[in-house]
């Protein structure tokens, strides 16, 4: 039975676990795909251009912006980030469920444009766990970690505007919960394309399979 695709935004404070959860979710179902954003920020240590982001310069970003390439864009921590309009539309035409890792401004902008969006916020169980995860990652200085913790307070302030909250205390449970949310959302009635038509056509086609001799 055909179902419409939709967008899923996943947000969390830095260190909250959204990237790892996204990666795991993408491996579960081939209908899930990931929207790779364009950004003007510098590439970090283990990131791959074209996989984590499309890294670009400000001139190219502005040209694309003027040409209407982005469905939404935002300035975050002094860098620009944007989502490709064509990519989203192609995925939705293919009835896919598109995961987006975008900030709250991006979520609001996409919602305003009338897209079917499900928003999920991933929260660590408490601030100490978040700090420990950032320290354990070993990628940032203590100053950067403190800045991220400060920023996380601002991000958590937007919690009320999200549809779902997933507490990431146990990684596997958090992945399971996000997957459960997506499966439930896929089965919303308004996401089925003409379900009764499908049911009756199928009923007619299956007539011949029933042995009616003893009826």
3-state secondary structure of 92: helix
Q: Draw the binding track, 91-130, toward ligand 5GP (x: CB under 6 A; -: no contact).
A: ----------xxx-xx------------------------
- Look-up of token digits 């502005």: 62
Shortest CB 67 distance to ligand 5GP, Å: 16
* 152 near ligand 5GP, judged by CB under 6 A: no
12 binds ligand 5GP (CB under 6 A): no
Task: Based on the shown chain and the rule CB under 6 A, indicate whether residue 83 belongs to the binding site for ligand 5GP.
Answer: yes
* C-alpha closest to that of 17 among 179, 168, 172, 125: 168
20 vs 105 by CB, closer to ligand 5GP: 105
Written as six digits, the tokens of 153 are: 């307070």
Of 68-76, 113-121, 178-186, 207-215, the segment contacting ligand 5GP by CB under 6 A is 68-76
Site size toward ligand 5GP (CB under 6 A) is 13
- Our CB check for ligand 5GP shows the closer of 98 and 186 to be 98
* Nearer Cβ to ligand 5GP (8/186): 8
């Amino acid at each position: 039975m055909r179902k419409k695709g939709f967008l899923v935004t996943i947000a969390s404070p830095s260190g909250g676990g959204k990237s790892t959860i996204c990666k795991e979710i993408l491996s579960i179902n081939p209908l899930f795909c990931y929207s790779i954003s364009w950004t003007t920020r510098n590439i970090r240590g283990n990131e791959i251009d074209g996989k984590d982001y499309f890294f670009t310069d400000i001139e190219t970003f502005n040209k694309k912006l003027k040409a209407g390439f982005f469905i939404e864009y935002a300035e975050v921590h002094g860098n620009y980030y944007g989502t490709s309009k064509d990519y989203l539309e192609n995925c939705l035409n293919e009835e896919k469920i598109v995961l987006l890792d975008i900030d709250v401004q991006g979520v609001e902008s996409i919602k305003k444009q009338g897209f079917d969006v499900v928003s999920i916020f991933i929260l660590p169980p408490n601030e100490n766990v978040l700090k420990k995860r950032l320290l354990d990652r070993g990628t940032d200085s203590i100053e950067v970690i403190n800045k991220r913790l400060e920023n996380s307070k601002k991000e958590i302030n937007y919690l009320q505007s999200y549809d779902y909250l997933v507490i990431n205390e146990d990684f596997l449970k958090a992945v399971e919960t996000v997957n459960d949310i997506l499966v439930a959302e896929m089965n919303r009635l308004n996401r089925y394309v003409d379900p009764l038509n499908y049911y009756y056509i199928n009923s007619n086609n299956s007539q011949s399979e029933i042995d009616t001799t003893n009826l």
